[in-house]
C-alpha cells in the first residue's frame, strides 16, 4: 500500500515538473530573439565607437580661411544612371518613394531622426552631412585634395549622409556635438556613433570639448 502511494506521488510530481521544464527550455519567440540580437549589435557598435573615439587625434581646429561649400561639393555627384547622390539617399531613406524620369523624387514619406518629424514632401527634407563640410575642413579636410573632399561629400558607404527635416538641418548648421545635438535624445547614440565612424575613417581630428560631448552621448547607448 505504501509502495503504491509513493508510485502515485512520483507520477503526480513528474506530471507537474515536465511541463515546467518544458516551459523553461522552450526557445524564445522570434521577436524576442530579434530584440536580443538587436541589443547585442547596438552594444557592439557602441563599444567599437568608444574604441575609435579613443584613437582620434585631439587637436585645435584649423582656420576656416579658404573654406567654401564648392571646395567639397560644386554639385552632388552622380551615382547610378541619371541619379545623383542626393536622390539616391532620399530613395534609400524614404518610404513609397516615386521618382520621375530624371530620377528626382516626386512623392514619398520621410522620417527625420533628428526631430522625429514625418514629412510627405521632398521640399521639406534635406540630406544632411553628419559631419558638416565646414567642420570637416577645420578638422583636417583643409589639407586634402579636391578629389578627396568631393569623395567625402558624396560618401554613401560611411554613415555621413542622412535624410532629415529642413528645419533640423538649418538649426544644426555647421556645428559640432559640443554645441548642437539632435532634439531626440533617443538618437544621440546613433548620431555619436555615426560621427565617430566618419571621423575615424577619414582620420579627422577632434577637439577636447567635442570628444567629451561624444563620450557623453555614447552613454545613452543602453
Question: Using an 8 Å Cβ cutoff, are 164 and 113 in contact?
Answer: yes
Structural domain total, the chain: 1
Does 136 map to a domain? Answer: yes
**Cβ neighbours, 10 Å, residue 10:** 10
pLDDT per position as a tens digit, 165-196: 999 999 999 999 999 999 999 999 999 999 99
Domain for residue 13, yes or no?
no
48 in a domain, yes or no? no
Q: Is residue 15 part of a domain?
A: no
Does a structural domain hold residue 51? no
User: How many CB atoms are closer than 10 A to CB 26?
Assistant: 8
Residue-averaged pLDDT of the chain: 86
- pTM value? 0.81
- The full DSSP string for 65-123 is TT--GGGT-SSPPEEETTEEHHHHHHHHH-EEEEE-TTS-EEEEEEEETTTTEEE--GG
Range of the domain at 132: 56-218
What digits encode the pLDDT tens for the residues 90-123? 999 999 999 998 899 989 999 999 999 999 999 9
Q: What is the pLDDT of residue 41?
A: 79
Q: What is the pLDDT of residue 28?
A: 41
Would you place residue 42 in the very low, low, confident or very high pLDDT band (cuts 50, 70, 90)?
confident
Instruction: Please answer whether residues 179 and 209 qualify as being in contact, where contact means their C-beta atoms are separated by less than 8 angstroms.
Output: no
Is 200 part of a structural domain of the chain?
A: yes
Whether residue 5 lies inside any domain: the answer is: no
The CB-side HSE value for 104 (13 A sphere, CA atoms) comes to 6
Asked if the structure places residue 4 within a domain, the reply is no
Set of cell numbers at residue 208: 577636447
Amino acid at each position: 500500500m505504501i509502495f503504491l502511494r509513493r508510485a502515485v506521488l512520483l507520477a503526480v510530481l513528474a506530471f507537474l515538473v515536465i511541463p515546467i521544464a518544458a516551459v523553461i527550455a522552450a526557445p524564445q519567440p522570434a521577436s524576442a530573439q530579434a530584440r536580443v540580437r538587436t541589443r547585442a549589435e547596438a552594444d557592439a557598435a557602441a563599444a567599437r565607437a568608444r574604441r575609435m573615439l579613443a584613437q582620434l587625434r585631439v587637436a585645435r581646429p584649423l582656420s576656416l580661411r579658404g573654406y567654401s561649400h564648392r571646395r567639397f561639393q560644386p554639385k552632388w555627384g552622380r551615382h547610378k544612371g541619371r541619379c545623383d547622390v542626393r536622390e539616391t539617399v532620399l530613395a534609400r531613406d524614404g518610404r513609397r518613394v516615386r521618382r520621375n524620369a530624371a530620377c528626382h523624387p516626386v512623392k514619398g514619406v520621410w522620417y527625420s531622426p533628428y526631430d522625429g518629424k514625418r514629412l510627405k514632401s521632398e521640399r521639406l527634407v534635406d540630406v544632411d552631412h553628419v559631419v558638416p563640410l565646414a567642420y570637416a575642413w577645420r578638422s583636417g579636410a583643409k589639407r586634402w585634395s579636391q578629389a578627396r573632399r568631393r569623395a567625402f561629400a558624396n560618401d554613401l558607404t560611411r554613415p555621413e549622409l542622412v535624410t532629415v527635416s529642413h528645419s533640423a538641418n538649418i538649426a544644426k548648421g555647421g556645428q559640432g556635438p559640443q554645441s548642437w545635438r539632435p532634439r531626440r535624445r533617443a538618437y544621440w547614440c546613433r548620431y555619436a556613433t555615426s560621427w565617430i565612424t566618419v571621423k575615424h575613417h577619414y582620420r579627422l581630428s577632434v577637439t577636447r570639448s567635442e570628444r567629451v560631448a561624444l563620450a557623453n552621448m555614447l552613454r545613452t547607448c543602453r
